[in-house]
Structures are given as C-alpha cells and as structure tokens.
Amino acid sequence: MQGAVDYNLILRKAYQVSMHYIHENDMAKDIAQATAIKYYLNEEKIEKEKSNSWIYTVSKNLSFNYLKKHKRELSYSRNLFEEKLHVADENIITLLNIDEILNSQKDKIEMLVDTDKEL
C-alpha cells in the first residue's frame, strides 16, 4: 500500500476537470465521485507520481462519455419535438383552410339562411 490517500483532494480535482467540460454542478459531482471510486479500486496500480494525470484523464473521459450520451438524448428529444411541432403546424394549416373555406362560403350560407327565413 502506498500510504494514506486524500479522497477529498481527488474529489476536488475531478470536480474541477468535469466542470470544465460539462458545466453542470450535480453531474460534475457525480463524475468526481465515480472518479474517486475508480481511484480506490485501482489504487495499487496507480503510480503516485502519475496520480494527477490519472485523475485528470478519468474525469475527462467520464465527462466526454456523459456529453456523448447527453447529446444523443438531446438529439432524440429535439427530433420528437420537431415531429410534434410539424403535426401541430399541419393542424393549424388545416384549421386555417377550414376557416378560409367558411369565409369564402359565408355569403352563400347567409343567402341560405335568408331563404329559410322567407319560407
């Protein structure tokens, strides 16, 4: 064993790296925690002199993985929103067409109503 490890220091470093990339406080905390857990699990394999580089690399990679996944989710949400917007646009166009038809036929409808009154 290499000696006592300051996990608070690991959390702070990992948090700073992840905040640099993702700019989301809660997610950066989650990534920092995941980095600290990975450090704990691999502590015997990590050279003390390279621990800062290891923390930086793992935090950066976890941040990038999050961004890739989040980008896919955003893309899916955007496509779904655009589909719903397209359907809404079609419904509005249909309503406008009905309104135009009714307005164009208004005189004829009024004439029919007047004819009915005479009968």
**Total domains, the chain:** 1
- Confidence bin at 73 (pLDDT 50/70/90): low
- Confidence bin at 70 (pLDDT 50/70/90): confident
Residue 64 lies in a domain: yes
Range of the domain at 13: 7-118
Please state, rounded to an integer, the average pLDDT across all residues of the chain: 81
Strands (E) across 1-117 are located at none
Residue 91 scores a pLDDT above 70: no
Q: What is the pLDDT of residues 2-31, one digit of tens each?
A: 467 899 999 999 999 999 999 889 999 999
Residues with Cβ within 8 Å of 82's Cβ and at least 6 positions away in sequence, in order, are: none
**Contact at 8 Å (CB) between 34 and 62?**
yes
Residue 72 scores a pLDDT above 80: no
Amino acid (one-letter) located at 81: F
- Confidence bin at 1 (pLDDT 50/70/90): very low
Residue 1 lies in a domain: no
Measuring CA to CA, which residue among 14, 12, 9 is closest to residue 66? 14
Residue 40 lies in a domain: yes
Residue 89 lies in a domain: yes
Mean pLDDT of 98-109: 69
Residue 2 lies in a domain: no
Measuring CA to CA, which residue among 21, 70, 61 is closest to residue 38? 61
pLDDT (0 to 100) of residue 5: 83
Measuring CA to CA, which residue among 13, 104, 108, 118 is closest to residue 62? 13
Q: What is the CATH number of the domain that holds 11?
A: 1.10.1740
Residue 24 lies in a domain: yes
